Amino acid sequence: MKNCITNRKSLFAVIFIFLFSLAACTTTQQSDLASTKVLAQKKLSSPDKSLQFTFTLTENEQGKTIAFYQISKNGQQIIKDSKFELELDNHMSEWALAIKNTPTGSWMENLELVGVEESSHNQTWQPVYGEKNEYVDNYQSLTLKFIQKNNPNYMMNIDVRLYDQGAAFRYSFPDNPTGIYYRIMAENTEFSLPEHTKAWYMPWAQGPASLKALKDWQTTSERPLTLELANGKYVALAEAKVIDYVRTKFDLSDNKADTIVTKMHDPVDIITGTSTPWRVVMVADSAPELLENNFILLNLNDENKITNTDWIKPGKIVRDMTLTNEGAYAWIDFAAEHNIQYLLFDWKWYGPAFTFESDAGTVSIDLDLPNIIKYGKEKGVGIWVYVNQQALLAQDKEIFPKYKEWGLAGVKYGFVQVGSHRWTAWLHDSIQRAADNQLMVNIHDEFRLTGEERTWPNIVTVEGIRGNEEMPDATNNTVLPFTRGLAGMGDYTICYYNERIKTTHAHQLALSVVMYSPLQTLFWYDGAKDYQGEPEIEYFSNVPTVWDNTDVLSGEVGEYIVTARQSGEKWFVGGITNTQARTVSVDFDFLEPGVEYAAKIYFDDSSVNTRTQVGIKEVTVNHASKLDFDLKASGGVALMLTPIK
């Protein structure tokens, strides 16, 4: 018995020592700033003064520098003290160039701040198309200039932009007179959040989202990453202008609680005079505001590089799965009748897709593509074709001029590789080659934009979204706008007649407004013959795909959303709920004062004697009107508002 007691005491002692050591380690990690000497500090305020970004450079007892930042909104902490962190390994280039006095140790631990520049920027710009017809690009900026202590030829800047909508920063590398190339091995930039923050964790781009605490993630999470803070604020972590770099996801810190770190897909080789993508922290008081502010990613990208954009024409698209002349002509007739602008021939029209043996410049099946293209033009319906990555990689330089000659409107890129430096650079080069041949593009499957559609507006939609290819439930659809929607356009592939749909039909109608996609796919798993005269299909005929203004009226992530969008004088409203029934209220104060509007309302109605059971009614509304809508579980409501002359 004595030995048992002794062993228990020893065990308790070991546990106590372990817990004490763990607590000491955690305390050390979370008090990095407090235990170091401050060398420099700089604060930056957003144009409206609501956000504050604080940069601090410190030195620890070993003489190593540590760079931190923090973000607050109206005095409330959003991002706690968080490290800027890069790992570089330049030894191969340094050996080849016989460079002396090279940096030693960690890249970030031997920095000297040698200059600070501040500036402001405020302008508006007009996109070729968008969720709005004009965007404001208004920020205060800070450039922090560093050199490596033992060799001033090694320079790095941290560029900071602070908008009213959030903060963005990146690492830039000015020209090095030695001609050296840099190899960035990893980026572990921190985002340290207040306690009890939760994240809408999404393990892959087309994966399901779930609300999780900042612990016990199975793997990295996709970007943008939407966060709900305990103080009621909403934050999103994102990246912008990923053109010639690797994709970066988000992971949990191994040694710092409530902290997220960037996780590069793989190392990247860069030349001096270039920058990393922007790391973005969006901040909002509500989920609808967060979504409305997604244009910050566009602002962080270069201006449009396509001189003549007359050929870029967003619209609605259907696809022919039969790959037959009969099926194509039926869809063209349907599209022309219902104001649908495009028809897609999906994969295998040129042979097996997953091989380099197929020739995407030749039709390999019994399909009279030249006459179909001609017939489509006569009916006002353009033709798109699917091309898989193998054929694109091998042939895009030769087939894109041929497609232009054929008169095709666009190309759907299939199963593109994403993430690595190689495939990211190749994809954006291919997009430019498409633009050179006046071809619009739709990129599937895991790819998400980071605002580059501003630069290359021939990108009219991309996937990277859990849409109707997976047939998700209604709750998924109420999560997507506030998570995936922060990255902009998404090809949800709306369905209507397929029996696998897990929502009501009014819900699918409303998705054409809720889900922004300049190329909006309709009737994804349907056929032209499935249409049996359902009167509500007129909504799909009337709804545009690009907008003059967008107002997210209300919503909560995973619960519901109501969105209003304006095109010319008309407004369209889409409201959806999750798998629970609810009543949503719409305040029409977004309408022009003094004008009466005819509101045509499409709603779920089990008393309607059609297989889709969508009711239609008309009321008159104005700027002062308010209406309540009772949504069925997994249901929705869609409105079209037209001024009464």
**pLDDT score at 114:** 98
Shared domain for 164 and 120, answered yes or no, is yes
pLDDT band at 34 (very low <50, low <70, confident <90, very high): low
* pLDDT over 50 (residue 62): yes
Tokens of 398: 């030769």
**pLDDT score at 12:** 37
How many domains, the chain? 2
Q: Count CA within 13 A, CB hemisphere, residue 454.
A: 28
Shared domain for 17 and 159, answered yes or no, is no
In a domain, 50, yes or no: yes
Tell which phi-psi region holds residue 163, choosing left (phi > 0), alpha (psi between -120 and 50) or beta.
beta
* Cα 204-209-214 angle, rounded to 5 deg: 95
**Tokens 């006569």, residue located:** 378
CA 508 to chain centre: 22
Q: Which of 302, 310, 45, 39 is nearest to 149 (CA)?
A: 39
| pLDDT tens-place string over residues 107-138 | 999 999 999 999 999 999 999 999 999 999 99
**pLDDT score at 33:** 59
**pLDDT score at 19:** 36
List Cα–Cα distances, 452 to 210, 445, 455, in angstroms.
28, 17, 5
Phi/psi of residue 425, each to 5°? -65, -45
| pLDDT tens-place string over residues 440-483 | 999 999 999 999 999 999 999 999 999 999 999 999 999 999 99
**What is the reported pTM?**
0.93
**pLDDT score at 29:** 42
| pLDDT tens-place string over residues 402-441 | 999 999 999 999 999 999 999 999 999 999 999 999 999 9
CB atoms within 10 A of CB 316: 24
CA 566 to chain centre: 22
Instruction: Please say whether the beta carbons of 511 and 589 come within 8 A.
Output: no
Tell which phi-psi region holds residue 260, choosing left (phi > 0), alpha (psi between -120 and 50) or beta.
beta
Tell which phi-psi region holds residue 552, choosing left (phi > 0), alpha (psi between -120 and 50) or beta.
beta
Q: Which of 385, 365, 361, 362 is nearest to 373 (CA)?
A: 385
Rg (CA), the chain: 27
Shared domain for 73 and 120, answered yes or no, is yes
pLDDT band at 9 (very low <50, low <70, confident <90, very high): very low
Angle between helices 369-379 and 325-337 (to 10 degrees): 10
Tokens of 345: 């021939």
Q: Which of 381, 386, 389 is nearest to 315 (CA)?
A: 381
Shared domain for 1 and 126, answered yes or no, is no
Instruction: Please say whether the beta carbons of 591 and 622 come within 8 A.
Output: yes
Could you tell me what percent of the chain has a pLDDT over 90? Answer: 89
Angle between helices 421-436 and 389-406 (to 10 degrees): 10
For residue 619, give the amino acid letter.
V
Question: What is the mean pLDDT of the segment spanning 276-291?
Answer: 98
Shared domain for 24 and 154, answered yes or no, is no
Sheet with 382-388, edge to edge strand ranges: 459-462, 440-443, 410-414, 382-388, 342-345, 315-320, 519-521
* pLDDT over 70 (residue 17): no
In a domain, 543, yes or no: no
Give the separation between CA 363 and CA 351, rounded to whole angstroms: 8
DSSP designation for 419: S
| Contact residues for 5 (Cβ-Cβ < 8 A; gap 6+) | none
Shared domain for 128 and 26, answered yes or no, is no
Shared domain for 180 and 268, answered yes or no, is yes
Q: What domain range is 5 assigned to?
A: 1-30
For residue 346, give the amino acid letter.
D
β-strand 636-643 against 410-414: which pairing, if any?
unpaired
In a domain, 366, yes or no: no
Q: Please say which residue of 265, 280, 295 terminates a domain.
A: 280
For residue 303, give the amino acid letter.
E
Shared domain for 97 and 138, answered yes or no, is yes
In a domain, 80, yes or no: yes
pLDDT band at 3 (very low <50, low <70, confident <90, very high): very low
Q: Please say which residue of 217, 251, 280 terminates a domain.
A: 280
Tokens of 588: 């029409």
**pLDDT score at 15:** 34
In a domain, 103, yes or no: yes
Shared domain for 251 and 107, answered yes or no, is yes
In a domain, 259, yes or no: yes
**pLDDT score at 18:** 36
Shared domain for 39 and 181, answered yes or no, is yes
In a domain, 205, yes or no: no
Phi/psi of residue 189, each to 5°? -60, 135
| Contact residues for 141 (Cβ-Cβ < 8 A; gap 6+) | 44, 118, 119, 120, 121, 159, 160, 161, 162
CATH of the domain at 252: 2.70.98.10
Shared domain for 22 and 114, answered yes or no, is no
| pLDDT tens-place string over residues 221-243 | 999 999 999 999 999 999 999 99
| pLDDT tens-place string over residues 164-202 | 999 999 999 999 998 889 999 999 999 999 999 999 999
In a domain, 338, yes or no: no
Shared domain for 1 and 90, answered yes or no, is no
Average pLDDT, the chain: 94
Q: Is the peptide bond before 352 cis (omega within 30 degrees of 0)?
A: no
